[in-house]
Structure 1
Amino acid sequence: MSDGRRTALGVACGAAAGALWGLVFVAPEIVRPFGPLQLSAGRYLTYGLFALILLAPRWRQVTALLGRREWLALGWLSLLGNSLYYVLLASGVQLGGVAMPSLVIGFLPVAVTIIGSRDKGAVPLRKLAPSLVLSAAGVVCIGWEALGQVRGADFSRQALGLLCAFGALASWTTFAVSNSRWMARLPQISAHDWSLLIGVVTGLQALLLVPPALMMDKTAHAAGDWLFLLAVSSGIAVFSSIIGNGLWNRMSRLLPLTMVGQMILFETLFALLYGFLWDRRLPTQFEGLAIILVLASVTTCLAAHRTKPAAAAVLAQE
């Protein structure tokens, strides 16, 4: 596969993953009667079940490639990228609304790209500066409206929501970097199977969330409410976790880590779009400008990774 086709396919997978992942930002609003622990437990129990069913025909073949170190890595990645991340994110959404966590998570490309710039053969950080500046400017524009809307809200509630959002940022940044590097070490395992393995381990971790999720809920829910939670959890598990994660892992093998960071911007973009649809409104001037800046950031990042033909020929001869 040529570099151009490889990059185009990687960007397409990243955009599709972002579109599916953006759904997780509105899910806590859709099932607001239920807490973050209940939503996370429901989502990841169904995710683990579906992943196990899909992986079952190849279970022995795939697990034979894993040792103790790989299983520990799967447990760590499942915690950072799924269980812990979504509890923190859902808490941030329910405490501060969709916009504030979207703003904080929007810093993911900056964090991941800076870390990825240290990898061998990565594009120098100075070449990524325009993309990072555009990304930061877009996030500031997104936050302008969000911060203005919460001035009259309870400070402690907003502060806790902001803290949860930053915790989610730290958790997923660590996951994105570690997951990309682990996949590079295990080329014998397909991106899809690696995603399903993470799903199975996440499902096991979700079992630990069930007791506190039930004990901490003091609200009496009707049977229809539980069925609705199950439907939302299943939908998020299939589309965001199984399909979205599979697309993300495919993209991680096609693009360098510095570009992987920029692809996370699509999640922010779609999260805002879904938030506008949920609120039944159009974006404000600042939000519209933020969308343009986000797209410009991805475009300049792609430009920074283009190799001139002469340079490519020299590299090919080495």
Structure 2
Amino acid sequence: MTTEALRRSGNDMTAGILCGVGAGALWGLVFLAPALVSSFNPLQLTVGRYLAYGLIALALIMPRWRTLAPRIGRRDWLMLGGLALTGNTLYYILLSTAVQTGGIAMTSLVIGFLPVAVTIIGSRDQGAVPLRRLYPSLFFCIAGAVCIGWQALAAPADLPLTTRLIGFGSAVGALISWTGFAVVNARALKRLDGVTSQDWNLLTGVVTGAQSLVLAPFAFLMVRTVQPSAEWVKFLAVSMAVAVFASIVGNGLWNRMSRLLPLTMVGQMILFETLFALIYGFVWEARWPTTMEALAFVLVVLGVVTCIRVHRGKGAEAGAPV
């Protein structure tokens, strides 16, 4: 690898990391949204968010539709449908259920294992950093995730055991759903030609919006609970804010990062979502982090830094003379 290629690779890595941090900061909002509008059920929250996402995505992609449509084949549309379901619709239903029944901390603990799952799968890709070199990073990730939710699991619970089990099961389901999305989406983005990261994001948004349209009657027409006008205004505002910041901008940053970084590193970047979710949770609860939560921050940062050093070292080795 030439010096110029090494420099370009380093710039791509820096840009990818910054995109990952930005995506995490915006995605952390999705953990707070169910707490802000807790009077609405998870299906309503999902439909509201993704209807808004779909409408905005459709409006943004229409000017490019004639140019873009011929580049999207049947296989791509089927993949978009699966990605929209696993990474958006199903994931957010499960995540919202977990937050409302188990709390932000417990949900963050389970979702915090995403980097481990994605990194292990990504280590099998051709040219990936061997898994054994990622052991220190994975150790810090796991330790940080355990610390994040330790208090939620160890402290006396106010909710019944059945409710907490539903929350935990939903969080595990969200973990599995989004792990599949992260892996397939990253590989799809590296395969696609002539389709930008943001175009792929908007296409995913259009398909997700179509799925939400199908679910809308079940979410709103079959629910007998009547909400005050003020709650509906708050619901619409939160849905629109999450759609714009988390789905349009956050997903766009994530897709850009997925093209710049190897899958083993993409997994580590998910940790920033957990960190920002906790920060927003502390602000919402108007408190400082506890000792265990502060320790989790340190461990998570160490996990990401260790992973970055391994990947930079791999790039340096590739450029060394033989």
> What is the TM-score of this pair, normalised by structure 2?
0.95
- Superposition deviation, residue 225 in structure 1: 1.6
Deviation at 1:308, TM superposition (A): 5.9
Q: Which deviates more from structure 2 when the two are superposed, residues 128-137 or residues 145-154? A: 145-154
* SS of structure 1 residue aligned to 2:167: helix
Q: In the aligned structure 2, how far is the partner of 1:261 from the partner of 1:304? A: 14
Structure 2 SS opposite 1:122: coil
1:125 counterpart residue number: 131
**Alignment match of 1:98 (pick from 85, 88, 104):** 104
2:119 equivalent to 1:136: no
Q: Distance in 1 between matches of 2:159 and 2:64?
A: 52
Moved more, 214-223 or 33-42: 214-223
Residue of structure 1 equivalent to 2:200: 194
- More deviation in 107-116 or 151-160? 151-160
In structure 2, how many angstroms separate the alpha carbons of the residues matched to 1:100 and 1:87? 16
Instruction: Output the CA distance in 2 between the equivalents of 1:169 and 1:244.
Output: 18
The CA RMSD measured in Å over matched residues stands at 1.3
Give 5+ residue unaligned stretches, structure 2: 1-6
Return the offset for 1:309: 3.9
Of 4-13 and 236-245, deviating more is 4-13
Residue 210 (1) aligns with residue 227 (2):
no
Distance in 1 separating the partners of 2:248 and 2:316: 38
Residue of structure 2 equivalent to 1:311: 318
**Aligned residue identity for 1:283:** P
- 1:1-318 to structure 2, matched below 5 A, reads 2-306=8-312, 307=314, 309=316, 311-314=318-321
Aligned residue for 2:4?
A: none
Q: CA deviation at 1:14?
A: 0.1
CA deviation after TM superposition for structure 1 residue 313, in Å: 4.0
Separation in structure 1 between the aligned mates of residue 91 and residue 316 of structure 2, nearest angstrom: 42
Displacement of 1:267: 0.2
CA–CA separation in structure 2 for the residues paired with 1:93 and 1:99: 8
Shift of residue 278 of structure 1? 0.4
Secondary structure, aligned partner of 2:71: coil
Residue 129 of structure 2 aligns to a residue in which SS? Answer: coil
Moved more, 24-33 or 179-188: 179-188
Residues 35, 217 of structure 1: 8 Å contact kept: no
Structure 1 stretches of 5 or more lacking a match? none
Deviations 1:249-282 (A, max 9, x none): 0000000000000000000000000000000000
* C-alpha distance in 1 between matches for 2:156 and 2:173: 20
SS at match of 1:114: helix
C-alpha spacing 1:230/1:308, structure 2 compared with 1 (3 Å):
closer
* TM-score between both structures, scaled by the size of structure 1: 0.96
Give the 3 Å change call, closer, same or farther, for CA 213–124 of structure 1 in structure 2. Answer: same
- Residues of 1 paired with 2:105 and 2:40: CA distance? 20
Alpha-carbon separation, structure 2, partners of 1:261 and 1:63 = 30
- Post-superposition CA distance 1:40-96 (Å, at most 9, x none): 100000000000000010012111101111100000000000000000000000001
List structure 1 segments (4+ residues) > 2 angstroms apart after TM superposition.
148-153, 215-218, 307-311
CA–CA distance in 1 between the matches of 2:85 and 2:264?
Answer: 23
Amino acid at match of 1:289: L
Q: Distance in 2 between matches of 1:111 and 1:78?
A: 20
Give the AA of the match of 2:131. L
SS of the aligned residue for 1:283 comes to coil
CA distance in 2, matches of 1:214, 1:310: 57
1:166-202 residue CA offsets vs partner (Å, 9 max, x unmatched): 0000000000000001111103210000000000000
Q: Within 2, Cα distance between the matches of 1:309 and 1:48? A: 42
Q: Percent identity?
A: 58
Letter in 2 for 1:276: F
2:175 and 2:29 map into 1 onto residues whose CA distance is 17
Q: Which moved more, 1:273-282 or 1:306-315?
A: 306-315
Q: CA deviation at 1:153?
A: 2.4
**Is the 8 Å Cα contact of residues 104 and 165 (structure 1) preserved in structure 2?**
yes
- 1:116/1:122 contact within 8 Å kept: yes
Paired residue type of 1:312: G
